[in-house]
Amino acid sequence: MMAQIQQKDKVNLGAKKFSMWIFIFTSFMLFAALSSGFIVYSGGRGHGLDVILPQAFMYSTAVIILSSITLFLASGAARQLQFAKQRLYLWLTFFLGIAFFAIQIYAWYVLAIKMGIYFINPNASRSFIYVFSGLHLVHVLAGLAVLLNVIIASYRNTPQVKNLFKMEMASIFWHFLDIIWIYLYVFLLLNQS
C-alpha cells in the first residue's frame, strides 16, 4: 500500500516537472517571437530604439543575478538539511525579486518621465522596451508566488522529498527568469542606437 502511494506521488511530481518545462518552453518561444518581431519591425523600417537605456536596467540585472545565487545557496542548504539557512536564502531571494521588480518600475519612470519615451510613441521600436520588460515582470510575479509557496512549505513539516522537489521547481523557474532577463537586457543594449 505504501509503495503504491509513493509511486503515485512520484508520477505526480514527474507530471508537474514536465508541465513546468512546457511552460518554460512556451515562455521562451514568446520572447523569441517578440525579439523576431522587433528585428523585423526595426530592420525593415530603419527604426532602432534610438535611446540609451536607463541605468536602472543594469542595476536590476545585477539584482536578479544575485537572487539566482541566493536561490542556489537555498537549494544547497535544503539538500544538506539546513532548513534555517534554506529559509534565510529563500527570503533573500524573495526580497531581491521584489527589489528587481521595483527597479524595473523605476526604469519605466525614467523612460517615461525623465526621457519622455512612452509606450505609445512615433517610434514603435521603443514600445518594445515596455513590452519586453512588462511581460518579464508578469513572469517575475509568478516567480515570486512560486518562491512564497516554497517559503511557506519550508516552515511546515513537509517531507524532504517534497521540500527538495519544490526547491527544484522554484530553481528551474527562477533561473529561467534570470536567463531571460539577461538575454532581453543584452538584446536591448545591442539595439539601443
Count CA within 13 A, CB hemisphere, residue 45. 13
pLDDT of residue 166: 93
pLDDT of residue 157: 83
Residue 48 belongs to domain with CATH number: 1.20.120.80
pLDDT of residue 181: 97
Q: How far apart are CA 188 and CA 87, in angstroms?
A: 35
pLDDT of residue 192: 78
Task: Tell the residue number behind the cell numbers 500500500, with chain if given.
Answer: 1
pLDDT of residue 5: 45
User: Cβ of 138: how many Cβ atoms within 10 Å?
Assistant: 10
User: SS3 for 68?
Assistant: helix
For the chain, how many structural domains are there in total?
Answer: 1
Contacts of 153 (CB under 8 A, 6+ apart): 162, 163, 166
Q: How far apart are CA 175 and CA 182, in angstroms?
A: 11
Could you list the pLDDT tens digit for every one of the 193 residues in the chain?
A: 444 445 455 547 778 888 888 999 999 999 999 999 888 888 756 567 778 899 999 999 999 999 999 999 999 999 999 999 999 999 999 999 999 999 999 999 999 999 888 888 777 788 889 999 999 999 999 999 999 999 999 999 888 889 999 999 999 999 999 999 999 999 999 887 6
pLDDT of residue 49: 75
pLDDT of residue 41: 81
The domain containing residue 143 runs over which residues? 2-190
